[in-house]
Structure 1
């Protein structure tokens, strides 16, 4: 995640204003993205169902000097909707949809948290044989970049499935962009293919 974070941050920052905006990072984990967005002037809420990474995230935000710009919450987006409905100008959910049991419900929660006129960003792994070879077999079993069993192929999602869920949630898809990662140079870059990794940008109409 550290290696692909610069690409993800650029994708978001190039498509919407961040300075002074309220942003929620759903599935924030250890706060890699949350901190980057805070450094760009955003007010960030990071939420995650796992307590361990949040402890790390809070400590690191203090060391980085951005703790005043980030609030970390233990929980899920679905649990936060009642208190924070239509609060955030930008909603991010990066590398989490492939791990949830009901992606439609999560996407609806992302839409509910987003202000009218706001932006939603998602990144995940496609459900293709190319993705299986590279993101699961290659990354987990050959190169050992991730623990074995990190990803369940059946939970991977195609762009069309996410786009359908977004439309049902009242969002409008603006862009789908592929990217790839070179584990030897540890560099990630955009590419035309969405067969493995991809990012999606949607907005909530006013």
Structure 2
């Protein structure tokens, strides 16, 4: 299912240049050897992380066939649906939102081919929050480093969390190590991503992430590093937040 919502009046957190870059390669989202290969390789570790943290928070059995049943989940900045589809398979009712129409078109077609009923919408976090949408879980994965106003974006997302709800954020740290690996290495040397995919100045340090989440009214429960082994071509959780990391935050129930 696909619908289109208009953004609210006033400033938007959407960066039109970033939207244009991703829209230009939208058709390649589901090609594991294409321009989104890094996300396909990254997917197993972040899917495992999401499953474990959501199940732990809501008291679900991780080995159950549909452990997310009864949970409403927002995949903000869903792209082609690489996370939305497995979340639906785990039993969640999924709304996948992206500001790029071509991304939503790609995601909708692929979900239809898989027989998955996912509510895909070309819209923004602000528009969804203004419309009163509420979710048990919000996935904010590899999005925040592409928005125009980080704090406003986090506040819009936090406003959509139900009391006791869980938000998981994944992003890149603003370090020279991240610049060398995620920008120079991935975009200019190895050619894993189109040049210009990332803007290093928009990367977010863990401290900035904590401050933004707290300012949005959330409690930060965990910040975990994610490291890549180029020899095994495998990602793993680690104590090193120097490049990639994921944060888990909860909206107080009271």
Taking structure 1 as the reference length, the TM-score comes to: 0.95
1:124-163 matched pairs, under 5 angstroms:
124-163=171-210
Q: Which residue of structure 2 lines up, in the alignment, with residue 8 of structure 1? A: 46
Equivalent of 1:171 in 209, 218, 228: 218
Q: Do structure 1's residue 37 and structure 2's residue 66 form an aligned pair?
A: no
C-alpha distance after superposition, 1:71-92 (max 9, x if no partner): 001011111102234x100001
Partner Cα separation in structure 2 for residue 155 and residue 52 of structure 1: 24
| 1:115 alignment counterpart | 162
Q: Give a deviation string over 1:125-172, Cα, whole Å, max 9, x none.
A: 000011011111100010000011111111111011011011111000
Structure 1 runs (4+) deviating above 3 angstroms are 182-186
Across the aligned residues of Structure 1 and Structure 2, the Cα RMSD in angstroms comes to 1.1
Structure-2 residue corresponding to 1:71:
119
- Give the counterpart of 1:97 among 106, 122, 144: 144
Unmatched runs of 5 consecutive residues or more in structure 1: none
Deviation at 1:188, TM superposition (A): 1.3
> Are 1:83 and 2:131 an aligned pair?
yes
| CA shift for structure 1 position 19 | 2.2
More strand by share: 1
How far 1:183 sits from its partner (Å)?
4.8
The number of aligned residues is 203
TM-score by length of structure 2 reads 0.78
Take 2:92 and 2:232, find their aligned partners in 1: how far apart are those partners? Answer: 30
Aligned to 1:51: 101
Residues 165 and 71 (structure 1), Cα distance of their counterparts in 2 relative to 1, 3 Å cut: same
Query: Which deviates more from structure 2 when the two are superposed, residues 87-96 or residues 3-12?
Result: 3-12
Cα distance in 2, alignment partners of residues 84 and 73 from structure 1: 15
Partner Cα distance (1:97, 1:156) in 2: 8
**Cα distance in structure 1, aligned partners of 2:205 and 2:242:** 9
Cα shift at 1:191: 1.4
Unpaired runs of 5+ residues, structure 2, are: 1-38, 56-67
Cα separation, 1, equivalents of 2:77 and 2:201: 20
